Amino acid sequence: MAAFSAVKIPPPQFTTVRSSSQRPGSSPAHFAHSPSAFNSISFGSAKSVRSRPLFAVSSDVVSSDKTKPASSSASNPAVTREVALELYEDMVLGRAFEDMCAQMYYRGKMFGFVHLYNGQEAVSTGFIKLLNQSDKVVSTYRDHVHALSKGVPSREVMAELFGKATGCCRGQGGSMHMFSAAHNVLGGFAFIGEGIPVATGAAFSAKYHHEVLKQSKPEGLDVTLAFFGDGTCNNGQFFECLNMAQLWKLPIIFVVENNLWAIGMSHLRATSDPEIWKKGPAFGMPGVHVDGMDVLKVREVAQEAIARARRGEGPTLVECETYRFRGHSLADPDELRKPDEKAHYAARDPIIALKKYIIEHGLASESELKSIDKKIDDVVEDAVEFADSSPLPPRTQLLENVFADPKGFGIGPDGKYRCEDPLFTQGTAQV
Amino acid sequence: MAMALRKIGKDGISIWRRGFSSTSGLESSSSRDATPVNLFTAINQALHIALDSDPRSYVFGEDVSFGGVFRCTTGLAERFGRQRVFNTPLCEQGIAGFAIGLAALGNRAIAEIQFADYIFPAFDQLVNEAAKFRYRSGNEFNCGGLTIRSPYGAVGHGGHYHSQSPEAFFCHVPGLKVVIPRSPYQAKGLLLASIRDPNPVVFFEPKWLYRLAVEEVPDADYMLPLSQAEVIREGKDITLVGWGAQLSILEQACEDAEKEGISCELIDLRTLIPWDKETVEASVSKTGRLLVSHEAPVTGGFGAEISASIIERCFLRLEAPVARVCGLDTPFPLVYEPFYMPTKNKILDAIKLTVNY
């Protein structure tokens, strides 16, 4: 492995003033009686806060050429066979599922705005496969594969895409809103940046449970992952949450899936400083850049970031350099990206890279990998059949879940609950 | 839902032609140069003319430089340069505030919010800054050059965040104007009028009609008056009021009602605030019945304002309560869109109920 030193992310050297002149309530005083309970930051003596050094860790990819992902020597694989196969299977599932989505869309089974994840599988697999069931994932509209990696069954995701009642959100969310309470997937956000504050709140909740309610787990705090893209990093909500997360040392990891394009806007032309990882240290947290086309590198960075969060050391900003092989959505003709850029990243296909790695290190044979491919094909086919044969949601579901109390629409002029009045769904005010 | 080529109704439309229009010398409006175009092309023409006629006008927003996700801004960057037509990063609040700043210094800022569903981060800037700029500076400054363009409304498959109709929120803000065209011809004229109006305007474009609506649109520069409603169909039994894409549905309902002997008068409000109360009042004084229809949820929608105002003005004349056929009081649904929408049948039922009250 080259100069990548993800395993050695030291905590940022704070030089904050710890005196009575500190504003009351600026530290998370609602938790702590002693800061040492969750603060491993060393506080220096009173010094100007401005002299805080720029701190980040970056992989060799930042400065070096974009060559094929480096692999360690053939005699020393970075992962065990079980892990390698798990990663491979998860990435293949993500790819096969998305390809099937495209097929179903063009056949008219799926509708609306569908955004596919092809090419970015290493990020989802690299991070989410390290999580426990109680860890949380918050995503964007490109969320099918995040949900799958977290454990939501393919059947439920496919049924949701078809708009059926057996979908994970009972058909009400669709492609862009995958939620699962059982697997702690907090959505699915059509609006960029909207999920980040939600993830920040979820991380606060996890910390509160651990620190105050003392519902601690042996492995440490529950971690929240917030996934979002490069375009979102120019949005106010992102910066607000970086501040809050670091201020309160929340167990959250901000994962930037930098695929260089926001529909048709190139990241390089929309951002004053395109190196997103630098924004972490500006707020006092480590910022890491990683090759998002290499699942093993992503996993290594993720391991350290998650361990930090579990220990209570606070947030990390991870920028994954990745690429989407398809257009922004299935309605996007994708005319703006240059063919050589696409070819460059297609050559770094994460699945092909992992397959090569597995075979080179003798972790599995080609036929074993092929049988995984076949198994996944069957899973996806089964998901489609399930979704196809599932019923559409009943019409009564239209009024459900607007409020907690379905009778929350109040009482109509005839004295009955409005939601029970058949005219109510006809949209006419009482005449 | 495709709208056929519509003849330009000359009754009731006042066309304000600028002195340097390209069809100079032609007095008769029927021989002006016009081509059948769809909505996004009409809007594109309006933007070309706006930028051409004022060197201090700018178009910006997300993805506008390649033409925009709905192609409304095609050709502008190539023709006017990237210093006047440019992409912004993904920050609606920033876009709106930045546009207000440009407008405050005398520029015409035509900002695009990619979908009306995304306008809410900008809502703060629009409500608290744009609407109040002239007022609280005592007319030292104003942001009249501000125009926010945004596609709104259902599109059949948009789901929660590509289908909303937020016009009612903006109608509650004194200081802003809200304009919604129903067709390509209206869109070009109203957009040019909005851009040149000395007040901040939020211009909502019905995205369903971007490709579907085709109409003869003059190639020239022309404006349509703001705050003037248009009676697009005369009748005597009931007045129907709507705006945007909903009008084509109302029109279909009118046709069906006609077959049952009910004569409907159809009004396009065009400007939602300040709205043309006189035209609606005159119509209701004639018919005695009113029905308002819009896609946004019924409670607190703009139909409520119209209903309340008309009842104040025409109470003794009204033969039946004002009917509102609108979206349901739920978030805009995904699969249930057909049930949520105020469809032709719902409107027809309400017309009959009102007429037979």
d(CA B31, CA B37) in angstroms, rounded, equals 17
Q: Does B63 touch chain A (CB under 8 A)?
A: yes
In tens, the pLDDT along B119-151 reads 999 999 999 999 999 999 999 999 999 999 999
DSSP conformation class of B350: H
Contact indicator for A15, A55 with CB cutoff of 8 Å: no
Torsion of CA A305, A308, A313, A317, to 10 degrees: 0
- Cis ω on the peptide bond leading into residue A153 (within 30° of 0)? no
Contact A424/B157, CB-based, under 8 Å?
no
Q: Does B330 touch chain A (CB under 8 A)?
A: yes
Q: Does B94 touch chain A (CB under 8 A)?
A: yes
DSSP per residue, B177-192: EEE--SSHHHHHHHHH
Indicate if B162 belongs to the active site. yes
Assign residue A416 a region: left if phi > 0, alpha if psi is -120 to 50, beta otherwise? beta
Distance of CA A135 to the CA centre of its chain: 12
d(CA A94, CA B166) in angstroms, rounded, equals 36
* Residue-level pLDDT, tens digit, chain A, 431 residues: 333 333 444 444 433 333 334 344 443 333 233 333 333 333 333 333 344 444 444 444 333 334 444 444 455 788 999 999 999 999 999 999 999 999 999 999 988 889 999 999 999 999 999 999 999 999 999 999 999 999 999 999 999 999 999 999 999 889 999 999 999 999 899 999 999 999 999 999 999 999 999 988 888 999 999 999 999 999 999 999 999 999 999 999 999 999 999 998 999 999 999 999 999 999 999 999 999 999 999 999 999 999 999 999 999 999 999 999 999 999 888 888 999 999 999 999 999 999 999 999 999 999 999 999 999 999 999 999 999 999 998 877 877 788 877 666 666 666 676 667 666 655 554 43
Chain B residues 230-259 within an 8 A CB cutoff of chain A? none
Q: Residue A206's beta-bridge partner residues?
A: none
On chain A, the residues whose CB falls within 8 A of the CB of B93 are 236
Q: Tell me how many residue pairs between chain A and chain B have CB atoms under 8 A apart.
A: 118
Pick from A331, A309, A274: which is nearest to A141 by CA? A331
Q: Does A192 touch chain B (CB under 8 A)?
A: yes
Q: Does B101 touch chain A (CB under 8 A)?
A: no
Q: Residue A137's beta-bridge partner residues?
A: A185, A225
Chain B residues 291-310 within an 8 A CB cutoff of chain A? 298
Distance, in angstroms, between B325 CA and closest chain A CA?
5
d(CA A410, CA A418) in angstroms, rounded, equals 6
Query: How deeply is B51 buried, as exposed, middle or buried, from its count of CB atoms within 10 A (0-12, 13-18, 19+)?
Result: buried
DSSP per residue, A7-60: GG-PPP------STTSPTTSS-TTT-SSGGGT--PPP-SS--GGGPPP-EEE-T
Order of strands across the sheet that contains B238-242? B230-233, B264-268, B238-242, B290-297, B323-327
d(CA A176, CA B161) in angstroms, rounded, equals 9
On chain B, the residues whose CB falls within 8 A of the CB of A398 are 328, 330, 333, 336, 339-340
d(CA A179, CA A202) in angstroms, rounded, equals 14
DSSP collapsed to 3 states, B256-279 = HHHHCCCCEEEEECCEEECCCHHH
Distance of CA B292 to the CA centre of its chain: 15
DSSP per residue, B91-132: -HHHHHHHHHHHHHTT-EEEEE-SSGGGGHHHHHIIIIIITT
Query: What sections of chain B are H helices per DSSP?
Result: 39-53, 76-80, 92-104, 120-124, 133-136, 167-171, 184-196, 209-212, 246-259, 277-287, 302-314, 337-340, 344-355
Active-site annotation holder among B48, B62, B129, B162: B162
Distance, in angstroms, between B263 CA and closest chain A CA?
19
DSSP collapsed to 3 states, A273-291 = CCCHHHHHHHHCCCEEEEE
- SS3 state of residue A5: coil
Query: How deeply is A274 buried, as exposed, middle or buried, from its count of CB atoms within 10 A (0-12, 13-18, 19+)?
Result: middle
Q: Does B60 touch chain A (CB under 8 A)?
A: no
On chain A, the residues whose CB falls within 8 A of the CB of B346 are 426-428
d(CA B109, CA B127) in angstroms, rounded, equals 17
In tens, the pLDDT along B62-111 reads 999 999 999 999 999 999 999 999 999 999 999 999 999 999 999 999 99
ipTM of this complex: 0.80
d(CA B213, CA B182) in angstroms, rounded, equals 9
Contact indicator for B259, B253 with CB cutoff of 8 Å: no
Residue type, B354: T
Query: How deeply is B20 buried, as exposed, middle or buried, from its count of CB atoms within 10 A (0-12, 13-18, 19+)?
Result: exposed
